[in-house]
Amino acid sequence: PSWEKKRVTLLGWPITQKEIWTKTGQSMNFVSFEDETELFEAVLFPNVFERYRRFLFGQKPLVITGKIQNDQGALIVEVFSISPVI
């Protein structure tokens, strides 16, 4: 089955990220996360990045909720929320 457009909840550690700015000057972020088996890519659009950016700069595992999107043939998680593992 295709994962595209499915809502997912994942656990991962942020390992790399790239902050970029939109045409309107807002910052957004692309993040690579890893779990115990593989890597996954995620995008945080401006409103989500502003709200959850504080969680991305640590070495702690995070719970990521979002929707799988197709980005030019690659699957990527469009992040809706991030929370630390308690």
Q: How far is CA 40 from the centre of its chain?
A: 8
Element (H, E) at 9: strand 7-21
pTM above 0.85, yes or no: yes
Task: Specify the pLDDT at position 73.
Answer: 86
Task: Specify the pLDDT at position 1.
Answer: 53
Task: Specify the pLDDT at position 14.
Answer: 95
Task: Specify the pLDDT at position 52.
Answer: 96
In tens, the pLDDT along 11-67 reads: 999 999 999 999 999 999 999 999 999 999 999 999 999 999 999 988 899 999 999
Q: Among residues 11, 21, 1, 14, which one has the least CA distance to residue 66?
A: 11
7-84: CATH topology is: OB fold (Dihydrolipoamide Acetyltransferase, E2P) (2.40.50)
